[in-house]
Every structure is written in structure tokens, then in C-alpha cells.
Amino acid sequence: MLQVSVYRYNPETDKKPYMQDFEIDTKGKDIMVLDVLHLVKEKDNGMSYRRSCREGVCGSDGLNMNGKNGLACITPVSEVVKNNKLIIRPLPGLPVIRDLVVDMTLFYKQYERIKPFLINDTPEPAIERLQSPEEREKLDGLYECILCACCSTACPSFWWNPDKFVGPSGLLQAYRFLIDSRDTATKERLAELDDPFSVFRCHGIMNCVAVCPKGLNPTRAIGNIRSMLLNNAT
Amino acid sequence: MVTNITNFGRSGLADWLIQRVTAVIMLAYTLFLLGFFLMNGDLDFVTWKLLFQGTAMRIFSLLALLSIAAHAWIGLWTVATDYIKPTGLRVAFHLVVILALFAYVVWGVQVLWGA
Ligand code: SF4
Ligand code: SF4
Ligand code: FES
């Protein structure tokens, strides 16, 4: 029997959040944490969490499992459980709406701020804007982000200043458009990031790299943005 | 763009660069002093005084002092904007830091050129 402890909070009925314990029968199999949550929900139908694709694509079930952020659907119990105990909490640093469901508004606001779309004011070609294989290669390791927020909610700089620091996820996307050969707004994008918070609040702690379920490296992207800012200004 | 008026440089990039450059200057000064102590095991006041009478040494010392001030301003500004959320309290903290650093610089100039 796996000892599972789940963060519970219903603002309509609870004064304070609390941890609720469950005994879950995994039938001796190494199931995913998301499966454990299904079994918990069978015992208590009111327990809330987000999920959709159950295969690490949609990014909706980012959770804190035994202290580490990750996607519940692709995290096997064996990877996180110590001493037969599994503690599941919502992603840290964001307001809790209910149980494991957090309010992602601040996270999305930062994403919106970096203008996550191609800007190109040259006349549109007849068919499409072409890229050389080399130019396209530069987007690898960037475009794969599924916006699960595991990284930003593991970042102390984002915890303290979620309204000013863009955060690892948003900065990874900022860089994705900064180095896209088809984008012509590089200077304007850089000007938006030049203040002491947006980029420079990153202290290179690399929590983001440690938790990204897609194996991406926001710290490297942030370093590259810094170099671009430096080249642009000196 | 997040606007700010209490940080040291004109931009985040300036702050970041100043933080790095001043760190290098402080390191160079520390290494120089360490080397000086190692080469003068039996240091007496006359040698010490002679060292600080040269203009080059005074310039280097002042540079190190200004570096400490700039470095501390940027560093403590960052800490304060992370942890002190009430605006009044934070601005008061910035002010105390800046005044203290200013006093140190003036005092340092007095020490360097006063002897
Ligand atoms: S490297 Fe930067 S963005 Fe990543 S967790 Fe650390 S401070 Fe946050
Ligand atoms: S960089 Fe990784 S952890 Fe961060 S939002 Fe994207 S996929 Fe999730
Ligand atoms: S449910 Fe879609 S990523 Fe986990």
C-alpha cells in the first residue's frame, strides 16, 4: 500500500489548506503519479486536479511530487517515492484555486508579454517564408516547450517577482523568437527586456533546467538573450 | 519593460555588467594586497605608509572602494526588491544603504589622501 498525502484546499469550505492521507493500492505495479491521482479520486470524488493528454504533451498536470516539479502523467511512482511515501502538492508560488489546481494568470501574462508570435513587416511572399536548415536548427530545444510551468514555479526569482521577472518559460520563448530568422522585431524585443527585472533577475540557479520534463535548458537561452543584449548595447 | 528608478545603472544590462566588472576589480585588489603581505612578511608601518603614498596605489584603492560601493548598491538593491515588499520600507532600506555607501566613500577618500 502506497502512502499518499495530498494537498487539499477548497476556499468555499476550508479556512486553511491541509494535507489529506490516502492508502493507495498500486497492485505492485510501477504506475504513473497521475494514475495514483485517479485512484485517489476514486476514494474522494471531490479532489481536483488538471489533466488532459496523459502523455506529456498538453502540459496541464504540472505538480509538485515529493518536493520536485514535474508532469504527473510521465513521472513513474518509482522515480519520486521515498520510503513508500508520496506527497503531492500544487505547483509552488501560484495562487491555489482548489486542491491541486493553481491560477496560472501571472504565468500566462509573462508569456503574453514577450509577444510569442512571429513579427515580420516585410511583404508576404507568395507561398511561405523560407528558412535554411541551419536557421531552422536554431529553434531546436526551444519550440518544444509545452508551457507546463514546472520551471517557472521552481524558480525562486519567479516566486519573489512573478509580476516583473519573465521567468524561465517565458524567456525560453522570448529567445525562440529572438533568433528566428523570419522575425524582424529583434531590436524591439530586446528593448523590452533590458530592465533590471525581466531577464536580469535570473541568477543562474538552474532549478528550471533540473525540472523541465521536456529536457529543455532555459538557463542557456537566458544566457543567450544576455549576450544579445550586450552585443546590441556595446 | 519594467520601469525602475532606484537601481544603480541605467538598465538591467548596465547593472549586470557593472556587477561583473566591479567584482573583477575587487578580486584584483584583494590578490594584490595578499601578494604584498606575502612578499613583506615582516611588515612595518613605514613600508605600509610608503605603499599608500604612491599615486598609483591611491588610484587603485579608490577604484576598489568605488567598486565595493557600486557592487554593494546593486547587490543589496536586488536583495531588497526580492524580499522587502512594502514600498515605503524598501525605499527606506535603499536610502540607508546609499547613505552608508556614500559615507564610506567620503571616509575612504579622507583616509587615502589624509595621511
Ligand atoms: S536559472 Fe534563472 S530562470 Fe532558471 S531557475 Fe534559476 S533563476 Fe530561475
Ligand atoms: S521550459 Fe520545460 S518546464 Fe518550462 S514550461 Fe516549457 S516545457 Fe515546461
Ligand atoms: S496530462 Fe498532458 S502533460 Fe500530463
Q: Residue B9 — pLDDT band, cuts 50, 70, 90?
A: confident
In this structure, the answer to whether residues A125 and A160 fall within a common structural domain is yes
Span from the CA of A156 to the centroid of ligand 2 (angstroms): 16
Mean pLDDT on A108-117 = 98
Query: The domain that contains A223 carries what CATH number?
Result: 1.10.1060.10
- Residue B25 distance to chain A (closest CA, Å): 20
The answer to whether residues A189 and A110 belong to one domain is yes
Cβ contact B18:B69 at 8 Å: no
Kindly report the pTM of this predicted structure.
0.91
**Does residue B99 carry a pLDDT above 90?**
yes
Domain residue ranges of chain B, discontinuous segments joined by +:
12-113
Please say if the pLDDT value at position A99 is more than 90. Answer: yes
Is the pLDDT at A218 greater than 80? The verdict is yes
Is B11 in contact with A199 (Cβ distance < 8 A)? Answer: no
* Residue found by looking up cell 495514483 in the block: A36
Instruction: With a cut of 90, say whether residue A148 has pLDDT above it.
Output: yes
Q: Count, in order, helices (H) and strands (E) of chain A.
A: 9, 7
Is residue A17 within 8 A of residue A3, CB to CB? The reply is no
Q: State whether A140 and A52 are in the same domain.
A: no
CATH code for the domain of A78:
3.10.20.30
The residue from A70, A86, A102 where one domain ends is A102
**Residues A76 and A30 sit within 8 Å (Cβ to Cβ):** yes
Tell me the pLDDT tens digit for each residue of B46-75.
999 999 999 999 999 999 999 999 999 999
Shared domain check, A76 and A7: yes
> pLDDT band at residue B5, thresholds of 50, 70 and 90?
confident
CB nearest to B2's CB, from A157, A195, A229 = A195
Mean pLDDT of A90-113: 97
Kindly give the number of the ligand 3 atom that is closest to the alpha carbon of A213: 3
User: What is the longest distance spanned by two Cα atoms in chain A?
Assistant: 64
Are A96 and A119 members of one domain?
Answer: no
Put simply, the chain B residues between 65 and 84 with a CB less than 8 A from any chain A CB are: 77-78, 81-83
Largest CA distance in chain B: 56
> Is B6 an interface residue toward A (CB < 8 Å)?
no
Q: Which of B11, B81, B83 sits opposite A194 (nearest CB)?
A: B11
Domain count, chain A: 2
For chain B, the average pLDDT equals: 93
Q: Are residues A93 and A141 in the same domain?
A: no
Helical H runs in A52-199?
77-80, 105-113, 133-137, 156-160, 167-178, 186-191
User: Could you tell me the distance, in angstroms and rounded to a whole number, from the CA of residue B16 to the centre of ligand 2?
Assistant: 25
Q: What is the pLDDT of residue B10?
A: 81
Mark yes or no for CB contact B12/A230 under 8 Å.
no
Residues on chain B touching A200 (C-beta within 8 angstroms): 12-13, 15-16
Range from A7-21, A137-151, B38-52, B93-107 carrying the lowest mean pLDDT: B38-52
Average pLDDT over residues A72-87: 96
CATH number of B12-113: 1.20.1300.10
* Ligand nearest to C-alpha A213: 2
Q: Assess whether A76 and A120 both reside in one domain.
A: no
**Cβ count within 10 A of residue B57:** 15
Confidence label for A81 from pLDDT (cuts 50, 70 and 90): very high
> For position B115, what pLDDT does the model report?
59
SS3 readout for B38-101? HHCCCCCHHHHHHHCCCHHHHHHHHHHHHHHHHHHHHHHHHHHHHHCCCHHHHHHHHHHHHHHH
**Inter-CA distances, A139 with A131, A172, B37, B109, Å:** 11, 10, 53, 53
Are residues A33 and A111 both part of a single domain? no
Beta-bridge mates of residue A82: A85
In this predicted model, what pLDDT tens digit does every residue of A7-23 receive, in sequence order?
999 999 999 999 999 99
Q: What angle do CA A123, A129, A130 make, to 5 degrees?
A: 140
Q: Is the CB of A50 under 6 A from ligand 3?
A: no
A59 lines ligand 3 (CB under 6 A): yes
Are A91 and A198 found together in one domain?
A: no
Smallest-distance ligand from the CA of A56: 3
How far is the alpha carbon of B3 from chain A, nearest alpha carbon, in Å? 7
Task: Pick the residue whose CA is nearest to atom 8 on ligand 2.
Answer: A148
> Which among A102, A132, A158 is the end of a domain?
A102
Task: Tell me what the mean pLDDT of segment B96-108 comes to.
Answer: 97
Could you say which of A36, A70, A102 is where a domain stops?
A102
Q: Is ipTM > 0.90 here?
A: no
How large a percentage of chain B has pLDDT more than 90?
A: 83
Domain span including residue A46: 2-102
pLDDT interval class at A183 (50, 70, 90): very high
